Amino acid sequence: MVSQIRFLMCAPDHYDVDYVINPWMEGNIHKSSRDRAVEQWNKLYNVIKNHAIVDLVAPEKGWPDMVFSANAGLVLGENVVLSRFLHKERQGEEPYFQQWFENNGFNVYTLPKDLPFEGAGDALLDREGRWLWAGYGFRSELDSHPYLAKWLDIEVISLRLMDERFYHLDTCFCPLANGYLLYYPGAFDSYSNRVIEMRVAPEKRIAIEEADAVNFACNAVNIESIVIMNKASDNLKSRLAEVGFQVIETPLTEFLKAGGAAKCLTLRVTEPIGEEIHANVSVESRVIRMEGHLLDAGLINRALDLIVEMGGSFQVLKFNLGEQRQSTSAAEVRVSAPSHDVMEEIISQLIDLGAVDLPQDERDSKLEPVVQAGVAPDDFYVSTIYPTEIRVNGEWLKVQNQRMDGAIAISQTPNGIVAKCKLLRDLEIGDRVVVDVLGIRTVRKAESREQRNSQEFSFMSSGVSSERRVELVVEQVAWELRKIKDSGGKVVVTAGPVVIHTGGGEHLSRLIREGYVQGLLGGNAIAVHDMEQNLLGTSLGVDMKRGVAVRGGHRHHLKIINTIRRFGSIAKAVEAGVVKSGVMYECVKNNIPFSLAGSIRDDGPLPDTQMNLILAQQEYSQIIQGADMILMLSSMLHSIGVGNMTPAGVRMVCVDINPAVVTKLSDRGSIESVGVVTDVGLFLSLLIQQLDKLTSPYVANVG
Ligand code: ARG
C-alpha cells in the first residue's frame, strides 16, 4: 500500500566523488562506479515507491552531491528552511533546491549568510511531531537553531556531534514511528546523550554498535513500520523486529563512498505539524567583552577554543586590534550554548580569562540563601584563584579570602556588605551564596608587554625543565629569595621527607637559619626523618653518609617518634637539648611557625602532628597568609593542598622528580608558577651555592 507520504529524490546522473568534505570521501575520489551507483539508486527508488510517493528534482551537472536531497532543506508543513552549505563545494546546489521548493508551493526561509545549516541532514523531526532534533558541531551552526524554532514554530533540541565520521545528524540518529529512536550514542557528547536519555524512555531507545553505525544503519528511511537502510546486522534486525519494525536492506555502497546512504538520498516533504506544538529553543546567547593582550597572551584563542570544546559556539562581533606593541586589544564575542547549564559552564571559564559583560548588560549577582549549614545551594559558583568581584546592589564588591574551590558568601556586617570565599563546610545558615554566573568578574590588570617580560619567571612560564633550565630556575629563585628577604617579605616552604632522604636537610636548615624561610608546611614524615637524621645519622634507616641500610635501622624512626613523645613536643625536645640541629631545630630556634598535617599512614604520630585535617587545613592557610613565594619541595599532597588555598599572585616554585606533580602545580595558567623536574637534594644544594654567590662580596678576579 502506498501511503500519502512523499519523498524528494534526485537521480545520480552527475554523481561522483569529486572532492573531499567528509572522512568517507578520503581516498575515494573518482572511485565510485557510475553504473553501480545508478543501479543502487534505482533499487532504493523502487523500494521507496512501493511505500510512498517519490518526487524528483532534476540533477544538475557540476553538483555531484545533489543526489543527497536530504540536504536540500528542512520541511515542516508548507514551510522550508533552505540549506546553507558549509562547504563551497555544495553551495551551488542551493538555488536549484530553492527553485524546486518554490515551484512546489513551499514557503522558503533563507538563513543569514555565513550561518551554515544543512537541512534534513542535520535536523530530524520526532516521528510523533513533538519536537525537532537538530545537530551541530560539523556542518550546521548552533546559532541556526533559534531560526528553525522561530520559522517552523517548533521546539528544537540541540545535539552536538563529536565524531567526524558522523558529521550529519542523520548519519547516527534516526527517529522512528511510535516514539522509537535508532541511534549511535558514540557520535554525541555526554551532555547530548543525557538530553536524549531525558527525552526518550529507555525501552524506546535502540542504541546501536559501531559496526552497524559505520554501515550507516542509522541513515535509514522510516515509513510507518518499515525501515529502509543499506545494511543491518542480524542482531539489529531482530531488535527492530521485536518492536515491530521490518528492515529492508538495499545496498548503497557506492554512496557510502561519499558519506551518504538511504536517508541522505531522500527528503521527506510531507511532515505533519503537531497541533499543540510551538516554538521553543533552549539555545542561549550572551555577549561578552575581553580586553588585554588578547593576541600576544593567546587569550582570545583560549577563549574561543574553550567555547567550542565545551559545546558552545561563537561569533566575534567586534575586534579592535591594538596596533602598538604596548596597546591592548578589545573584543566582543557572542557566545551561544545549547542550554543554560552549558552556558554557565562556558561563562564561568570565560570569567577566569577576564571576560566581562557589556556595560549595558551588567546584572547583580544571583544570591541564594544557605539553608543547611555547611551545604551550598546546588548551582553555586565555584571560586578560583583569581581576584574576583561580584556585583551587589549595582556596586562591584571585592571578594575577600580569595582561593579556589570555595563558594562566595555574602554577609551583612556593621561595616556593610562583605563577600568572602568560604569552604563549603564553613557556610552558615544566613549566608547568601553566589549562584549562576551573573554579576561576577575577575580583575586583571592588563600589564604591559614590557612588564610581563620582566616578570621574574616569565622566561619559563609553565613547562618542565631540562638541565640548563634547572640552573636558570635556581638562579631566578635565589635572586627572588634574596629580594624577598631584603624587603622583609615572606617565603613559605612545603617539604616532603624526600628532602631529607636526598640529603637536602642541611641546605633547608641553612635557608631557615639565614632568614630565607618564614613558614614550613609538611607532614609527620619530614619532621621524623629530619630528627632521625640529626639524632641517629640515618634517614628511614639508611646511613646518610655511606648510603647503606643500617642494621635495625628500620626501627630508628619509631625511636625518634617515641623520644619526642616523651618530651611532649618538638620544641620541648629542642629546649631539652635532645634535638641539636636540622630543619625542625632551626624552625624552633628561629621562631618559624610550622604545621605538620597528619595522614592515615603516619606512625606515631609526633605530638605536633595535627591529625584533625580540618584544623590542619586551617593552620596551613594561616601560615601561607601574605606569602610572597611558596617553595614546594617534593611533597605532592601538601603542595597541591597549598596550591588550592593560594590566590593568584603568589609566586610558586615546585620541585619534584615526578613530572606529573610539577605539571599539575605549574599549570595555574599564570606566569607566576614554575616547575622544575629534578632531584630536590640537588636543587637545594645548587640554591645554597647560588645564594652564597649573591651574598658574598664581589671579588675582582684579576689574573
Ligand atoms: N558528500 C556529501 C557531503 O559530505 C554527503 C551528504 C550526505 N547527506 C546526509 N544527509 N548525511 O555533504
Kindly report, residue by residue over 196-212, the tens digit of the pLDDT: 999 999 999 999 999 99
Mean pLDDT of 650-666: 87
Per DSSP, 117 falls in state B
Nearest alpha-carbon partner for 457 in 292, 632, 675? 675
Task: Please tell me the residue having the least CA distance from ligand 1 atom 7.
Answer: 260
pLDDT confidence of residue 447: 53
Q: pLDDT tens digit string along 484-496?
A: 999 999 999 999 9
Nearest alpha-carbon partner for 581 in 537, 546, 550, 518? 537
For residue 226, how many other CB atoms are within 10 A of its CB? Answer: 18
pLDDT confidence of residue 276: 77
Q: Cα 301–294–361 angle (5° rounding)?
A: 95
Q: Is 262 in the pocket of ligand 1 (CB under 6 A)?
A: no
160-169, 371-380, 458-467, 660-669: which range is least confident on average? 458-467
pLDDT confidence of residue 702: 59
- How far does residue 115's CA lie from ligand 1's centre (Å)? 18
- How far does residue 259's CA lie from ligand 1's centre (Å)? 6
Mean pLDDT of 343-355: 94
Is pLDDT above 90 for 630? yes
Q: Where are the beta strands (DSSP E) in 587-650?
A: 594-597, 609-610, 629-633
Task: Please tell me the residue having the least CA distance from ligand 1 atom 6.
Answer: 260
- Is-contact 42 272, C-beta < 8 A? no
- How far does residue 188's CA lie from ligand 1's centre (Å)? 18
Q: Is 68 in the pocket of ligand 1 (CB under 6 A)?
A: yes
- What is the distance between the alpha carbons of residues 97 and 111, in angstroms, rounded to a whole number? 14
pLDDT confidence of residue 458: 41
pLDDT confidence of residue 544: 81
- What is the distance between the alpha carbons of residues 302 and 295, in angstroms, rounded to a whole number? 10
Q: pLDDT tens digit string along 508-531?
A: 999 999 999 999 999 999 999 999
Mean pLDDT of 232-239: 97
Q: Which of 16, 263, 264, 265 to mutate to test the pocket of ligand 1 (most atoms within 8 A of CB)?
A: 264
* 700 pLDDT tier (thresholds 50, 70, 90): low
Mean pLDDT of 628-637: 94
* 445 pLDDT tier (thresholds 50, 70, 90): low
431 SS3 class? strand
pLDDT confidence of residue 466: 61
**Residue 39 main-chain phi, psi, to 5 deg:** -65, -45
CA separation (Å) from 131 to 278, 279, 337? 9, 9, 19
pLDDT confidence of residue 701: 60
Q: HSE-up of 197 (CA within 13 Å, CB side)?
A: 10
pLDDT confidence of residue 446: 57
- What is the distance between the alpha carbons of residues 499 and 17, in angstroms, rounded to a whole number? 65
Amino acid identity, residue 644?
A: N
Grid cell for residue 594: 610550622
Mean of per-residue pLDDT scores for the chain: 92
Percent of all residues in the chain with a pLDDT value above 70, rounded to a whole number: 94
Mean pLDDT of 18-35: 96
Is pLDDT above 80 for 448? no
- How far does residue 228's CA lie from ligand 1's centre (Å)? 18
Give the pairing type, strands 609-610 and 594-597.
Answer: parallel
Q: Is 260 in the pocket of ligand 1 (CB under 6 A)?
A: yes
- Is-contact 372 383, C-beta < 8 A? no
Is pLDDT above 80 for 40? yes
Amino acid identity, residue 407?
A: A
Mean pLDDT of 415-428: 95
Q: Which residue has the higher pLDDT, 50 or 455?
A: 50
Q: Is 71 in the pocket of ligand 1 (CB under 6 A)?
A: yes
C-alpha torsion sign, points 233, 238, 241, 246: positive
- What is the distance between the alpha carbons of residues 394 and 364, in angstroms, rounded to a whole number? 6
33-47, 128-142, 264-278: which range is least confident on average? 264-278
Q: Is 171 in the pocket of ligand 1 (CB under 6 A)?
A: yes
16 SS3 class? coil
Q: Which of 14, 68, 84, 218 to mutate to test the pocket of ligand 1 (most atoms within 8 A of CB)?
A: 68
- How far does residue 495's CA lie from ligand 1's centre (Å)? 59
- How far does residue 541's CA lie from ligand 1's centre (Å)? 70
Is pLDDT above 50 for 456? no
Give the pairing type, strands 673-677 and 542-543.
Answer: unpaired
Is pLDDT above 90 for 452? no
Q: Is 264 in the pocket of ligand 1 (CB under 6 A)?
A: yes
- What is the distance between the alpha carbons of residues 171 and 214, in angstroms, rounded to a whole number? 9
262-271, 386-395, 459-468: which range is least confident on average? 459-468
- Is-contact 609 560, C-beta < 8 A? no
* 454 pLDDT tier (thresholds 50, 70, 90): very low
Q: Which residue has the higher pLDDT, 483 or 545?
A: 483
- Is-contact 666 463, C-beta < 8 A? yes
Q: Cα 544–550–553 angle (5° rounding)?
A: 95
313-322, 339-348, 688-697: which range is least confident on average? 688-697
Catalytic residue set: 168, 264
Is pLDDT above 80 for 451? no
pLDDT confidence of residue 542: 83
Q: Which of 71, 170, 173 to mutate to test the pocket of ligand 1 (most atoms within 8 A of CB)?
A: 71
Percent of all residues in the chain with a pLDDT value above 90, rounded to a whole number: 81
Q: Is 266 in the pocket of ligand 1 (CB under 6 A)?
A: no
- Is-contact 408 399, C-beta < 8 A? yes
For residue 44, how many other CB atoms are within 10 A of its CB? Answer: 25
- What dihedral do alpha carbons 209, 211, 214, 216 form, nearest 10°? -70
Is pLDDT above 60 for 464? no
Grid cell for residue 199: 527525552
Give the pairing type, strands 629-633 and 651-656.
Answer: parallel
Is pLDDT above 70 for 462? no
Model confidence, pTM: 0.82
Q: Is 16 in the pocket of ligand 1 (CB under 6 A)?
A: no
Q: How many helices (H) and strands (E) does the chain have?
A: 22, 36
Q: Is 65 in the pocket of ligand 1 (CB under 6 A)?
A: yes
CA separation (Å) from 113 to 82, 86, 120, 152, 314? 12, 10, 18, 19, 15
Task: Tell me the sheet residues that pair with 290.
Answer: 331
Atom of ligand 1 nearest to the CA of 118: 10
Q: pLDDT tens digit string along 170-193?
A: 999 999 999 999 999 999 999 999
pLDDT confidence of residue 457: 44
Grid cell for residue 533: 637524621
- HEC readout, 198-212: HHCCHHHEEECCHHH
- How far does residue 9's CA lie from ligand 1's centre (Å)? 14
Q: Is 119 in the pocket of ligand 1 (CB under 6 A)?
A: no
CA separation (Å) from 638 to 152, 522, 583, 643, 687? 58, 6, 17, 9, 22
Mean pLDDT of 266-287: 88
